[in-house]
């Protein structure tokens, strides 16, 4: 049991005030361990799962260290970039900067986020006013460096957040170019869910005798997440999903798919089923992704369908459920995905729909998390029990009444699953049923009891 308080960590009153206003009462384990190390000025390599409070673990001591340098002057020269936080995706960039801004609101420190996919000219004026803390995706930061709209020669703190994902996404060359531009005399912090050999090599290259902290066994999945597998034919997944989403726990859920195509198609099918669903994936514009995420956070969208890349970095408070419509082929992605629920100690449910073809990937996941996941066999009504399907109804786009769409037979080589979020606790619940839905008004079905047979 962690009994340390934020005040025990010797954080400044301005920071403590912001934490109290955010409703934080006690530090999470990663915060309790990392904050003193960072305040002492050590480099740090931290193994943390998503949702452990890692952002505050680096942001709070960062603010504390930069506070003596804060200036109320409006002159840009008095606000050089002193801390650089590099993250793999725009969504994570936005969320990290929002957190930094919240924690810094009673200080004179300024923060800014820059990421690709939007007109660079809209970011330049903000950069020119001067900011102490810059959150950036690597590619866009390099664009700004090339355009000479940012100077990094006064950076004294560097954070690589979700470093494993940055490497997975091919950011190594960009990282190397950025690192070469930073002062050698600086403090470096790295956060990663997994510690591969490549990550270790990266830390050797740019860190100085880092302290190592692991809040949970690396590659372990959070203990407060109830995991369950439904064994189901690929072609029956859509029907099972619809049923699950009508269950009691599914007030809001993130559904992960492997490909962008499946994400879009599934969102359309669910909308036809009366579920307030939307998809986010790499083919959507930044604006569309932000709008979908906002609608989800506000509770206007009940189900967000995401691919792995699109979902990275999403942070929504108190998301109760993550569903893997298809399980990821890279076992580590499973850990990232389910980490979107059960954040900051809350409990969550992670359900995976696993077809016979996918069972081999399930075994890989179980090996990685060193845990056997409870399996149940889903018995959805046979085709003859459903409305007859014409050839036309097999086209998911046109099948107004088709209950499920046949999954593409071709296995995808595009790892696309993602991770969950958490909607604001105050978000109004969105009914998952249409007013004219025959099921509406009846007591909610206890899905597993209805059509699930336990197999182990």
List residues near ligand AMP by CB under 6 A.
Answer: 24, 27-28, 31, 50-56, 315, 317, 343-344
Q: Count Cβ neighbours within 10 Å for each residue of 184-213 and write b for 16 or more, e otherwise.
A: eebbbbbbbbbbeeebeebbeebbeebbeb
Q: How many CB atoms lie within 10 A of CB 95?
A: 21
Closest CB 101 distance from ligand AMP, rounded Å: 12
| Closer CB to ligand AMP, 56 or 142, in the complex | 56
Q: How far apart are the C-alpha atoms of 127 and 147, rounded to whole Å?
A: 12
Nearer to ligand AMP, 55 or 269 (CB): 55
For the chain, the three-class secondary structure string (H helix, E strand, C coil) is CCCCCCCCCCCCHHHHHHHHHCCCCCCCHHHHHHHHHHHCCCCEEEECCCCCCHHHHHHHHHHHHHHHHCCCCCCHHHCCCCEEEECCCHHHHHHHHHHHHHHCCCCCCCEEEECCCCCHHHCHHHHHCCCCEEEECHHHHHHHHHCCCCCCCCCCEEEECCHHHHHHCCCHHHHHHHHHHCCCCCEEEEEECCCCHHHHHHHHHHCCCCEEEECCCCCCCCCCEEEEEEECCHHHHHHHHHHHHCCCCCCCEEEECCCHHHHHHHHHHHHHCCCCEEEECCCCCHHHHHHHHHHHHCCCCCEEEECHHHHCCCCCCCCCEEEECCCCCCHHHHHHHHCCCCHHHCCEEEEEEECHHHHHHHHHHHHHHCCCCEEEEECCCCHHHCCCCCCHHHCCCCCCCCCCCCCCCCCCCCCCCCCCCCCCCCCCCCCCCCCCCCCCCCCCCCHHHHHEEECC
Long-range contacts: 17-24, Cβ < 8 Å, 24+?
A: 17/106, 18/102, 18/103, 18/104, 18/105, 18/106, 19/56, 19/60, 19/103, 22/102, 22/103, 24/56
Q: CB of 234: closest distance to ligand AMP in angstroms? A: 33
Residue 38 Cβ vs ligand AMP, minimum distance, rounded to whole Å: 14
> Residue 159 or 327: which CB sits closer to ligand AMP?
159
Nearer to ligand AMP, 99 or 262 (CB): 99
When the beta carbons of 27 and 328 are compared against ligand AMP, the nearer one is 27
Shortest distance, position 430 Cβ to ligand AMP, whole Å: 20
- Nearer Cβ to ligand AMP, position 30 or 378? 30
Q: How far is the CB of 211 from ligand AMP (least distance, A)?
A: 19
Q: Which is nearer to ligand AMP, 161 or 358 (CB)?
A: 161
Which of residues 169 and 344 has its CB atom nearest to ligand AMP in the complex? 344
Return the number of the residue (424 or 455) whose C-beta is nearest ligand AMP.
424
Alpha carbons 79 and 109: distance in angstroms, whole number: 8
CB of 92 to ligand AMP, least distance (A): 9
Q: Kindly tell me which of 46 and 447 has the beta carbon lying closer to ligand AMP.
A: 46
CB closer to ligand AMP, 98 vs 249? 98
């Amino acid at each position: 049991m962690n009994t340390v308080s934020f005040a025990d960590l010797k954080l400044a009153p301005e920071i403590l005030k912001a934490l109290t206003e955010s409703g934080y009462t006690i530090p999470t384990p990663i915060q309790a361990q990392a904050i003193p190390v960072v305040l002492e000025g050590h480099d740090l390599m931290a193994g943390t799962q998503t949702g452990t409070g890692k952002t505050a673990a680096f942001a709070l001591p960062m603010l504390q260290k930069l506070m003596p340098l804060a200036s109320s002057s409006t002159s840009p020269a008095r606000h050089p970039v002193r801390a650089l936080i590099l993250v793999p995706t725009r969504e994570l960039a936005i969320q990290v900067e929002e957190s930094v801004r919240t924690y810094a609101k009673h200080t004179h420190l300024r923060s800014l986020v820059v990421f690709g996919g939007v007109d660079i000219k809209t970011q330049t004026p903000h950069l020119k006013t001067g900011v102490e803390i810059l959150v950036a995706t690597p590619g866009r930061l390099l664009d700004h460096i090339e355009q000479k709209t940012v100077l990094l020669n006064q950076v004294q703190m560097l954070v690589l957040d979700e470093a494993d994902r940055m490497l997975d996404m091919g950011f190594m060359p960009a990282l190397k170019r950025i690192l070469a531009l930073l002062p050698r005399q600086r403090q470096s912090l790295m956060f990663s869910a997994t510690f591969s050999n490549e990550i270790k090599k990266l830390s050797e290259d740019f860190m100085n005798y880092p302290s190592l902290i692991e809040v949970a066994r690396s590659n372990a999945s959070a203990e407060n997440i109830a995991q369950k597998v439904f064994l189901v034919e690929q072609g029956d997944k859509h029907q099972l999903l619809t049923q699950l989403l009508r269950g009691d726990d599914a007030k809001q859920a993130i559904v992960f798919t492997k490909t962008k195509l499946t994400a879009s198609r599934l969102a359309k099918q669910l909308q036809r089923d009366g579920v307030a669903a939307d998809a986010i994936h790499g083919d959507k514009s930044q604006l569309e992704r932000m709008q979908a995420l906002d609608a989800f956070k506000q509770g206007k969208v009940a189900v967000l369908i995401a691919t792995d890349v699109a979902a990275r970095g999403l942070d929504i408070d108190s998301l109760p459920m993550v569903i893997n419509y298809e399980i990821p082929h890279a076992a580590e992605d499973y850990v990232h995905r389910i980490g979107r629920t059960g954040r900051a100690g809350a409990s969550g449910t992670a359900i995976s729909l696993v077809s016979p073809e996918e069972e081999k990937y399930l075994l890989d996941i179980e090996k990685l998390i060193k845990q056997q996941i409870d399996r149940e066999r889903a018995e959805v009504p046979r085709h003859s029990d459903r409305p007859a399907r014409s050839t036309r109804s097999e086209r998911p786009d046109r099948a107004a009444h088709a209950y499920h769409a046949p999954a593409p037979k071709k296995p995808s080589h595009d790892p696309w699953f993602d991770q969950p979020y958490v909607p604001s606790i105050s978000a109004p619940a969105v009914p998952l049923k249409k007013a004219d839905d025959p099921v509406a008004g009846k007591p909610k079905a206890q899905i597993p009891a209805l059509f699930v047979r336990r197999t182990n």
